[in-house]
Amino acid sequence: MAWLLICWHITILLIILGMGHAAEKESSMLGATAKGTVILGGIFAVHEDVEKENRTFAPHLHPCIRLQARGLVRMLAMINAVEKVNRSPLLADVNVTLGYHILDSCADVSTALRATAHFIERSHCLGTTSCGPPVLAVVGASHSEGSIAIARQLTLEMIPQISYSSTAVTLSDKRRFPAFMRTIPNDRHQTAAMVSLLSTYGWTWVGVVITDGNYGQSALENFVSQASKNGICVAFKSIIPQAVGSQDVRSAITQTARTIFENPEAQVIVSFAKPTLMVYLYQELKNQMLRGGRDRKSMRRVWVASDSWSSSSSVKENIHLEDMGHVLGFTFKSGDLSSFNEYLSRLEAAGHDDTGDNVFLQEFYTQLNASEGYGDTELVSKAVETLREHTHAGTIFSVEMAVSAIAQALVSVCRNRDCRTPGTVQPWELLKAMWMEEFKLRDKRFKFDSSGDINLGYDVTMWRSDGENIHIQDIVAEYHPHNNSFTHSNHSTTQQLNALKHIISKCSKSCIPGKSKKTTKGPHTCCYECAICSANYYSNDTDMAQCLSCDPDTEWSPEGSSSCLPKDRLFFSWQDPFAMVLLTFSALGVVLNLLVSALFLHQRDTPVVKAAGGPLSQVILFSLVISDISAMLFVGRPNSLQCKARQVLFGVSFTLCVSCILVKTLHILLAFQFNPELHEVLRGLYKPYIIVAICVSLQAATCICWLVLKSPYNHIVNNPTTLLEDCHEGSYLAFGVMLGYIAVLAFVCFICAFKGRKLPHLYNEAKFITFSMLLYLISWLLFVPVYITTSGVYLPAVEMVVILISNYGILCCHFFPKCYIIIFKKEQNTNTAFRKKLYEYSNKTTDVVSVSVVTNCREGVTCPSLHRGSITRHCRERSNSI
């Protein structure tokens, strides 16, 4: 035992002497160094804190306290990454090697600034033998507070800085930190992942614990912002100071534990605290549980751990999951640890005397030996074992990426120049190369984004216990930031995660279907009462923020309903018996019009067909076919095209029909007008096709304006439990103008036809035109009040009936009598019979005229001579005209 004490004192003395020598060389700052053509700086929190007892006003370096294996592992990861790059052919191609100068920030901002100042001083004393090559890039720091302070200094010289674990969002602001980069995502992505996890399990009432500082405050701000957007409320916020040993920390931890017990509804706590503080908080929770006589269940929570302690061995070794509850941790994406494990194996084989210029490793060996008194072999084995326990794949991978990015950027810069001379490469050139180019690590390519970050997502781990020890379980899920989603690793982990769904973390009891949450007075929207859904609203799930509206076009619901009932749709259906009757008449009308058209086409050279209008009769029949088809569009479920087409088709087609009838009426008047002066006027005005074109064009213009400005459309009339589907005419003014225009043409036809009603009986169309137009006018006059006062399913049938009456009126009055003569009175369908009747009509007309003239002569009025030859000439003209 005495021998061991002697060895221990000798070792301590050697270390102190070595530290004194290092302090003399390196301004009293502890570090690890290696020579190289290009020097990389490294800043790692190897110690946990500094001794801040201020005994003097003079500036001095605070001694670091409590070496932590976690920080030492990160530092060794950088050393291994540098050695690995030097062994690769990458740097050999440009004939350079990497060296390093690693300093300890001791998790203290002031100490980190001293280290940064030392790196900058090396750049300023270029050319002297005492400084060596300048530091071209810095890897670090560990904590965001230190990285922010370091970045402000390095930005002045534009020395690139790559952090492996600083996640504060503010560091992504390239206007403030243009030289800062990192191989991990910022906290905005981590908090988004946490919020997504909470939403997945329906945890809406959570507590938040942070360590005060840039990292904790930034994480808290982003978490609260994203949580509120997703309906998650923060039950309490506990902020613990950073200084582990201060009285303020003990008071804050006591208050935090008390707050946790006072909020039993918040069964989930999100923690961004440091590992040491989490251990202290666990111990305080356990103490208060025992002092208050509470059971173990009252202490258990679901802890959502940030990257700061999710893989911490110190926390794992000092808590019991039976008391703590469940721990879900977010860690950075991990890589292959084989290279680092080989490095630790080489370290173990070298022994504790072979520590090189690494005072941290020397101190670590001394610390282990002082506590247990190991032999040389046992000491190294225990040291490596401890280092392996504190090895976290995600952080090791991040450090390796940082070194690889710097090395490959250096190769890119040095490809066309000799970089062995100090000062040949400027830091900002290296920074530009890292921004512009990709780098490769283990056959994968990576590139910094516009914020200087590399966002690979997160792994979610779940802690488990075997009764004695806590194990950080393999990855149970992966978070993908591009679509804010999780994927489970395998079926067994899915079952374990599903077990968490039974945990409830809500401020109020769930509202059953048929009710919705009604926020009560207070700062939180997650605390609410349950309100019954009103009529036509429903909720089909628990804890719905509001009742959902039933689709007013298709559904309805009674009060307090959990679902909607479909509304019965009503429209003039094809299956309706009345619709079938009207469709039958429409189809029959189409067939009859086509048959009459075929008959007239076959008999086109006969007097009856010519007297019926010849080619115009075919136009009339065609327009009647279109009109009958338009009537069919009033049946069935309305759609937009159908609503627009049915009125326009009827309006234009029936206008064409009435226009042709008007031309026929004028033709008849012209043929039998014996007044020579009026006859010449009518002959000059009579242009059949121009008249038809003008009449139809005016109606077409009306319909186009209607369709463009305010066209008909299908709409739904909402009734309490039914839906009436119908066509709305868009503009009833345009609808009235269209029908009124047809009515004016029909009225003109009626007047003209009425004047020619006494023409030859067999060929007198004026009577039939008069009757058909009168029938049209009466039916549409009756339509107007009926249409205005009628509503419901059969409103389209009203117009359909009137259209069919109009169509059949024209067909029966204009064409059926001609068909009867053509088929059954063929002897009357000859030119001879036609002239005979016309001659008789002319003689009768002449006699009437003669009697009138004779009477006037007897009264002493001068009378012109009457010649029968003149009458005969007029008859021939009528015959040819007709």
Q: Which amino acid would we find at residue 452?
A: G
The dihedral of CA 31, 32, 37, 42: what is its sign?
negative
pLDDT for 255 equals 95
pLDDT for 333 equals 87
Closest by CA position to 145, among listed 124, 167, 175: 167
Tokens of 217: 């405050």
Query: What's the rounded Cα separation, in Å, for the pair 147 and 589?
Result: 90
Query: What's the rounded Cα separation, in Å, for the pair 381 and 365?
Result: 10
Q: Which amino acid would we find at residue 213?
A: G
Q: 183 in helix, strand or coil? A: coil
- Whether the CB-CB separation of 652 and 703 falls below 8 Å is answered with yes
pLDDT for 126 equals 64
pLDDT for 844 equals 57
Rg, the chain, Cα only: 50
Cite the beta strand spans of 241-385 per DSSP E: 268-272, 301-305, 325-332
Residues in the chain: 882
pLDDT for 544 equals 86
- Whether the CB-CB separation of 207 and 269 falls below 8 Å is answered with yes
Q: Return the percent helix, strand and coil in the chain, to nearest 5.
A: 55, 15, 30
The dihedral of CA 621, 626, 629, 630: what is its sign?
negative
pLDDT for 876 equals 43
- Whether the CB-CB separation of 147 and 69 falls below 8 Å is answered with no
Inter-CA distances, 469 with 313, 328, 474, Å: 11, 17, 15
Instruction: Give the orientation angle of helix 577-602 with respect to helix 795-810, to 10 degrees.
Output: 20
- Whether the CB-CB separation of 337 and 393 falls below 8 Å is answered with yes
Query: What's the rounded Cα separation, in Å, for the pair 821 and 819?
Result: 5
**H-type alpha helices, 391-426:** 393-414
Closest by CA position to 525, among listed 540, 507, 548: 507
Instruction: Give the orientation angle of helix 376-389 with respect to helix 69-87, to 10 degrees.
Output: 90
Query: What's the rounded Cα separation, in Å, for the pair 634 and 800?
Result: 7
pLDDT for 679 equals 65
In angstroms, how far apart are the furthest CA atoms of the chain?
A: 176
Query: What's the rounded Cα separation, in Å, for the pair 529 and 789?
Result: 49
pLDDT for 49 equals 85
Half-sphere exposure of 365 (CA within 13 A, CB side): 24
Q: What is the DSSP string of 233-254?
A: EEEEEEEE-S-TTSHHHHHHHH
pLDDT for 464 equals 84
381 Cα distance to chain centroid? 56
Question: 391-406 burial string, b = 16+ CB within 10 Å, else e?
Answer: bbbbbbbbbbbbbbbb
pLDDT for 341 equals 92
pLDDT tens for each residue of 203-224: 999 999 999 988 899 899 999 9
pLDDT for 682 equals 65
pLDDT for 27 equals 42
Between strands 568-570 and 722-728, the pairing is parallel
Which residues of the chain are modeled with pLDDT < 70? Answer: 1-29, 54-55, 126-130, 245, 373, 467-468, 471-474, 489-494, 521-522, 669-685, 756-766, 834, 837-882
Q: What is the DSSP string of 484-549?
A: TEEEESSHHHHHHHHGGGG----SSPPPPTTEEEEEPSSS-TTSEEEEE--TTEE--STT-SSPEE
Tokens of 104: 């300890």
**H-type alpha helices, 67-108:** 69-87, 89-92
Half-sphere exposure of 85 (CA within 13 A, CB side): 32
- Whether the CB-CB separation of 714 and 677 falls below 8 Å is answered with no
Between strands 325-332 and 458-465, the pairing is antiparallel
pLDDT tens for each residue of 774-796: 888 888 888 888 888 877 888 88
Q: What percent of the chain has pLDDT over 70?
A: 84
Query: What's the rounded Cα separation, in Å, for the pair 235 and 47?
Result: 34
Distinct helix (H) and strand (E) counts, the chain: 29, 27
